[in-house]
Amino acid sequence: MAGTRFAYVRKFELPDPLLPGTFILLRLDGHSFHRFSDTHGFSKPNDSRALELMDHAARSLMEEYSDIVLGFGESDEYSFLLRKTATLYNRRRSKITSTLCSLFTALYVMHWPAYFPDVPLRYAPSFDARIVLYPSVREIRDYFSWRQADTHINNLYNTAFWALVQQGGKTTKEAHETLRGTVSSQKHEILFSQFGINYNALPSQFRKGSVLVWEKTSIPYNPSNCSASQVLDGENETDANDQEGQEKGASTRITLLHCDIIGDEFWNRRPYILKG
Amino acid sequence: MAGTRFAYVRKFELPDPLLPGTFILLRLDGHSFHRFSDTHGFSKPNDSRALELMDHAARSLMEEYSDIVLGFGESDEYSFLLRKTATLYNRRRSKITSTLCSLFTALYVMHWPAYFPDVPLRYAPSFDARIVLYPSVREIRDYFSWRQADTHINNLYNTAFWALVQQGGKTTKEAHETLRGTVSSQKHEILFSQFGINYNALPSQFRKGSVLVWEKTSIPYNPSNCSASQVLDGENETDANDQEGQEKGASTRITLLHCDIIGDEFWNRRPYILKG
Amino acid sequence: MAGTRFAYVRKFELPDPLLPGTFILLRLDGHSFHRFSDTHGFSKPNDSRALELMDHAARSLMEEYSDIVLGFGESDEYSFLLRKTATLYNRRRSKITSTLCSLFTALYVMHWPAYFPDVPLRYAPSFDARIVLYPSVREIRDYFSWRQADTHINNLYNTAFWALVQQGGKTTKEAHETLRGTVSSQKHEILFSQFGINYNALPSQFRKGSVLVWEKTSIPYNPSNCSASQVLDGENETDANDQEGQEKGASTRITLLHCDIIGDEFWNRRPYILKG
Amino acid sequence: MAGTRFAYVRKFELPDPLLPGTFILLRLDGHSFHRFSDTHGFSKPNDSRALELMDHAARSLMEEYSDIVLGFGESDEYSFLLRKTATLYNRRRSKITSTLCSLFTALYVMHWPAYFPDVPLRYAPSFDARIVLYPSVREIRDYFSWRQADTHINNLYNTAFWALVQQGGKTTKEAHETLRGTVSSQKHEILFSQFGINYNALPSQFRKGSVLVWEKTSIPYNPSNCSASQVLDGENETDANDQEGQEKGASTRITLLHCDIIGDEFWNRRPYILKG
């Protein structure tokens, strides 16, 4: 066959299996999204449309890949946890990384018009992705705590920063200088005393990030624990038929939460996430 | 800081640099494109719209990443050669693999309506990507020969197969049986004697695949060597100012060819591709 | 400096850190020890001198590298478990693999004359080594069970095989044929009925392999669980000062056992092994 | 079988093949040889016994592994070049690294008494090893230039340093201070004016390091290029049958040189080294 004498080049494709028995954490980050958000007029400090588009893409990715048991998003990044027993694509690193990143990207672009009906894409956005392996539950808990703490820190800073600029009339340089060296309580104070903003009353979507998790729909959420719960209905699923599905034992679905995932409550209620 | 005690989880992110001094070959493949092409009504055996959308995405990717010195596409796959001295993203494997795959995907989805104006996307397409390293010019030449030989083999088979089905009224099972064990010349013969098709007169776009290469626009192509040459003009570039640019030595641009890349001629004319 | 323009070649040395938080299992295997044992007249089916030389090298290796918390040896192989929090050589794979393998080899050759006083080394022995990472305690338990089960299976076969050859006058070919397809109980029966050998009464050194573990010397062993216990005293340590050291809490030392490590008892008594 | 349910632990052994088509460079370094050389009374700045023991181990390693086409040693390190087409152990990184490092170590310990008849080993020496891949001839040339330049730099410094200490009566601290910031010519001058030492007249063994190469014995060496040439005869080979072997084309043997390998001459005479 014509191709035979060239086929030896396949031998340069080396295997890249992930260590079995470890949790697979895939994190996607928007590539140069500072520029992308400026070009497309994202609201500051947060753009709900952009966040919800991210959530939509993440949710659809999870519907396609059932090995993903948890998603957490903030700003232009999303983290996905795959169960440690996952055998997706024989645990090949590049295959998983690229395919899931590609699908997320495709979903983001495909659904863009639904979230930004008046803002045509000026150029194609892209995301990078990496896989990190974690051997134990402790590290997974700390990983998600790390990301949610990051959400809080960034959002508090950005909220104060943009209040100073948009409402306080400062330049961005002045705003950075005002905030330099301030601790958390000082930023709260600036927001409250200068702009009448009670930070803790801002939407949990901004303060807590987005949590996507498979769950039975009958689980009641403690409003103080999880102040906002928005469900993007999956395909072929309505609130009406939830109870019915429940009875048939088939009604787990992906639910979007904006709740605390640093404490134990979230995890204690959902032992299946870290089960394996 | 709130995030500090969790930040140790970053230590699980291990480095993945690619060996320096090697050619980086990135190959993208459509994920489950058999189903995707059926769902979206691609013409058989080849759909020019789909091929040209792939070419468009590939071309735009190359415009964004100047380390890519050559692209070769066929069907739902595309191979990109990065120069061996490339330092893109410090040669981090996952970063390069995911970012380029993501951008390609975004471009594919974003430009879909221009190539399939009457076919809305039913679901999001995705691609996988892998990087293969090659130490020397010989292997790079053989890699691209391997892909182009594959293009030929597949296209000849598919052309005969769909002729038997579409014009010959056979079932797909019968068509496979008719072709089983046939050599190249027999497939030519079936096409010619039964359907009046001169395989070698079919568009080189189908027979040779797509070659994307940076080049000075004045290079004359030998029509017998490279029978079809279609140029998708890059941004801010018109035929009118080519000659001018040429004189300033600044007028290289990405050119789409459907020519032989197994023989030496293509490479001898463009020594800069493999230079380093 | 003269070397400066060449120093770029160091950039080709890529990092190879092991995933943090995982148990590191290093296994050494004798290289072509079938030939080596023939050349040097090892007794069949087991040579106590050779096994004890292995134990000696393993014990000295553990004294040098305190991250090794357990060793298990059989025949010409030895497995070493490093605690999952080990930071030895920054967890660089090649550095750990090569250095520990090298020291083990040096110890084996250096102490050869003490175990084989009448058998000069005819040529240099060598070992290969590999590191395998395990995320959890379950896998470590199963790893060591796997090796000890292997010890049992091989030793029972070899004991029966060499009895047939040495005492039964069979050729090696005939002996293999006799044993082909036999299950464990049949091999026991052959040994007992034909040669009067009660397999379970053979030395546990042969049946159980060698276990090296750090422990307080006062731990009493259940003789039915761990039928043979031989202590190679470490440097500067005598039985006399054990009790004294014990009281000061400083008297842990490496102890050699030939006991069961498949059941829970061994591990329950020594929770520190898998602690981290 | 008893071992079956544990055998899954083998799945954690991941493949580690080296990229095909690349030169494999294996470098061994003595582990803590500063202490080892002190303990065993090595002469300063160079100990011929120790260097020749290294050469002996290296030579025997090359006799065992014919994929090694070149060795270069200095001080307590040795570099080995494996041909780029080598398929040794299916190019598995850990297998090659550990086995060759192990055999080198065993040879070093086994032959120690022949080079240090009056100095018993006080403890076991060890070496670490790493593999570095190089894609092209240029990098291999530069790698060996790097090591030989390093030999020169270190030896000039050490020669001056120990002359100041041993003959000049300085403390080691004073000697370091005297040499701090000096360039090459100043060290030559110190050696010559204060101690009557013509550095360039010192043995090339110390100034050039050790080069081990397979070659036909009839190749004449240019004394100005390669001032010292010592041959350790291989097994079953005498000078007497060289010419005969030569005629049969079978008389290649490993030759020890202390010659320049930075310039082209060494390589031009031996094109087979880098051939592949």
What residue numbers of B does the annotated binding site for Mg(2+) cover? Answer: 29-30, 76
pLDDT at C31: 98
pLDDT at C218: 59
The answer, for D142 touching chain B at a CB cutoff of 8 Å, is no
The amino acid at residue A166 is Q
Question: Could you give the dihedral angle defined by the CA atoms of residues C40, C45, C50 and C51, in that order, rounded to the nearest 10 degrees?
Answer: 170
Tokens encoding A38 = 């400026």
Please report, in angstroms and rounded to a whole number, the separation of the first and last CA atoms in chain C: 46
- What is the number of other CB atoms lying within 10 angstroms of the CB of residue D242? 16
Tokens encoding A29 = 């980050």
The answer, for B1 touching chain A at a CB cutoff of 8 Å, is yes
* Mean pLDDT of all residues in A78-100: 98
- Mean pLDDT is lowest, of A31-35, A133-137, B246-250, D228-232, for D228-232
∠ CA(C27), CA(C15), CA(D94), 5° rounding?
30
- Mean pLDDT is lowest, of A40-49, A87-96, A216-225, A229-238, for A229-238
pLDDT at A206: 98
Name C73's bridge partners: C78, C210
Question: How many whole angstroms separate alpha carbon C173 and alpha carbon C179?
Answer: 10
Q: Is the pLDDT of residue C91 over 90?
A: yes
In degrees rounded to 5, what are phi and psi of residue D81? -100, 125
Question: How many whole angstroms separate alpha carbon C53 and alpha carbon C100?
Answer: 16
For B222-268, the pLDDT digits (tens) are: 444 454 344 433 323 333 333 333 344 557 899 999 999 999 999 99
Arithmetic mean of pLDDT over chain B: 90
* Mean pLDDT of all residues in C97-110: 98
Q: Is the pLDDT of residue A163 over 70?
A: yes
Report the run of H or E that residue B253 belongs to, with start and end.
strand B252-257
Q: Is the pLDDT of residue B221 over 80?
A: no
Arithmetic mean of pLDDT over chain A: 90
Q: Is the pLDDT of residue D150 over 80?
A: yes
Q: Which residues contact A89 (CB under 8 A, 6 or more apart)?
A: A95, A96, A99
Question: How many whole angstroms separate alpha carbon C231 and alpha carbon D237?
Answer: 48
Q: Which residues contact A230 (CB under 8 A, 6 or more apart)?
A: A205, A256, A258
Q: What percent of chain B has pLDDT over 70?
A: 87
Find, among A150, A153, A171, the residue nearest to A162 by Cα.
Answer: A171
Domain boundaries, chain D: 14-145+210-274
Name C205's bridge partners: none
Q: Is the pLDDT of residue C238 over 70?
A: no
Chain B to chain D Cβ contacts (< 8 Å): 24
Question: How many whole angstroms separate alpha carbon A177 and alpha carbon A159?
Answer: 15
Q: What percent of chain A has pLDDT over 70?
A: 87
What CATH topology corresponds to A16-148+207-274? Alpha-Beta Plaits (3.30.70)
* Mean pLDDT of all residues in B19-24: 98
Task: Enumerate the residues of chain B whose CB falls inside 8 A of the CB of residue D134.
Answer: 21
pLDDT at D235: 29
Question: How many whole angstroms separate alpha carbon D159 and alpha carbon D192?
Answer: 11
Task: Specify the 3-state DSSP secondary structure of D111.
Answer: helix
For B232-244, the pLDDT digits (tens) are: 333 233 333 333 3
pLDDT at C171: 97
Chain B residue whose CA is closest to C9: B20
CB–CB contact B106 A105 (8 Å): yes
Task: Specify the 3-state DSSP secondary structure of C233.
Answer: coil
Q: Is the pLDDT of residue A233 over 50?
A: no
pLDDT at B150: 96
For A138-150, the pLDDT digits (tens) are: 999 999 999 999 9
* Mean pLDDT of all residues in D73-79: 98
Chain D residues 9-48 with CB within 8 Å of chain A? 11-12, 14-15, 17, 19-21
* Mean pLDDT of all residues in A66-91: 98
Q: How many CA atoms lie within 13 A of D148 on its CB side?
A: 22
Q: How far is CA A90 from CA A21, A79, A95, D65, in A?
A: 13, 21, 9, 35
The answer, for D131 touching chain C at a CB cutoff of 8 Å, is yes
Question: Could you give the dihedral angle defined by the CA atoms of residues C43, C46, C48 and C52, in that order, rounded to the nearest 10 degrees?
Answer: 120
Chain C residue whose CA is closest to A134: C21
CB–CB contact B135 D139 (8 Å): no
CB–CB contact B139 D21 (8 Å): yes
* Mean pLDDT of all residues in D56-67: 98
Task: Enumerate the residues of chain D whose CB falls inside 8 A of the CB of residue A14.
Answer: 15, 17, 19
Question: How many whole angstroms separate alpha carbon D167 and alpha carbon C199?
Answer: 70
Chain C residue whose CA is closest to B8: C20
Alpha helices in B116-183 (DSSP H): 137-162, 172-179
Tokens encoding A243 = 């109870």
Chain C residues 70-129 with CB within 8 Å of chain A? 84
pLDDT at C29: 98
CB–CB contact C84 A135 (8 Å): yes
ipTM: 0.91
For C167-223, the pLDDT digits (tens) are: 999 999 999 999 999 999 999 999 999 999 999 999 999 999 999 999 876 555 444
* Mean pLDDT of all residues in C63-82: 98
Q: What is the 3-state secondary structure (H, E, C) of A5-49?
A: HHHHHHHHCCCCECCCCCEEEEEEEECCHHHHHHHCCCCCCCCHH
Find, among B165, B171, B163, the residue nearest to B194 by Cα.
Answer: B163
* Mean pLDDT of all residues in D228-254: 46
Q: Which residue reads 């087409």 in tokens?
A: D85
Nearest to C21 among A21, A84, A135 (CB): A135
Tokens encoding A112 = 């863009």
Strand spans (E) along A161-232: 210-216, 229-230
Nearest CA-CA distance, residue B133 and chain D, Å? 8
Alpha-carbon dihedral sign for residues C246, C248, C249, C252:
negative
Distance of CA A231 to the CA centre of its chain: 15
For C32-46, the pLDDT digits (tens) are: 999 999 999 999 999
Question: How many whole angstroms separate alpha carbon A101 and alpha carbon A129?
Answer: 6
CB–CB contact A17 D15 (8 Å): yes
Chain A residue whose CA is closest to C138: A21
Alpha helices in chain D (DSSP H): 33-39, 48-64, 93-115, 137-162, 172-179, 184-195, 204-208, 242-248, 265-269
Arithmetic mean of pLDDT over chain C: 90
pLDDT at A245: 37
Q: Which CATH number fits domain D14-145+210-274: 3.30.70.3000, 3.40.50.1000, 3.20.20.370, 1.20.1250.20?
A: 3.30.70.3000
For B170-213, the pLDDT digits (tens) are: 999 999 999 999 999 999 999 999 999 999 999 999 999 999 99
CB–CB contact C3 D153 (8 Å): yes
Q: What percent of chain C has pLDDT over 70?
A: 87
Q: Which residues contact B114 (CB under 8 A, 6 or more apart)?
A: B53, B56
More confident site: C232 or B95: B95
Contact B107, B56 (CB under 8 A): yes
- Cis omega (within 30 of 0) on the bond before A45? yes
More confident site: D242 or D166: D166
Question: Could you give the dihedral angle defined by the CA atoms of residues B127, B131, B137 and B141, in that order, rounded to the nearest 10 degrees?
Answer: -30
Question: How many whole angstroms separate alpha carbon A72 and alpha carbon A83?
Answer: 15
Q: Is the pLDDT of residue A229 over 80?
A: no
Asked if CATH classification 3.30.1330.10 holds for the domain at B17-148+207-274, the reply, yes or no, is no
Q: How far is CA D211 from CA D54, D57, D144, in A?
A: 12, 13, 10
* Mean pLDDT of all residues in A242-266: 76
Name C253's bridge partners: C215
- What is the number of other CB atoms lying within 10 angstroms of the CB of residue A58? 26
R_g of chain C, CA atoms, integer Å = 21
Q: Spelled out in words, what is the top-level CATH class assigned to the domain C17-149+204-276?
A: alpha beta
Q: Which residue reads 């892998």 in tokens?
A: B130
Q: Is the pLDDT of residue A3 over 70?
A: no
The amino acid at residue D209 is G
Question: How many whole angstroms separate alpha carbon A146 and alpha carbon A140?
Answer: 10
Nearest CA-CA distance, residue A135 and chain B, Å? 10
Question: How many whole angstroms separate alpha carbon A128 and alpha carbon B25?
Answer: 18
For D195-229, the pLDDT digits (tens) are: 999 999 999 999 999 999 998 765 554 444 454 34
pLDDT at A4: 82
pLDDT at C219: 52
* Mean pLDDT of all residues in C63-74: 98
Q: How many CA atoms lie within 13 A of C251 on its CB side?
A: 18
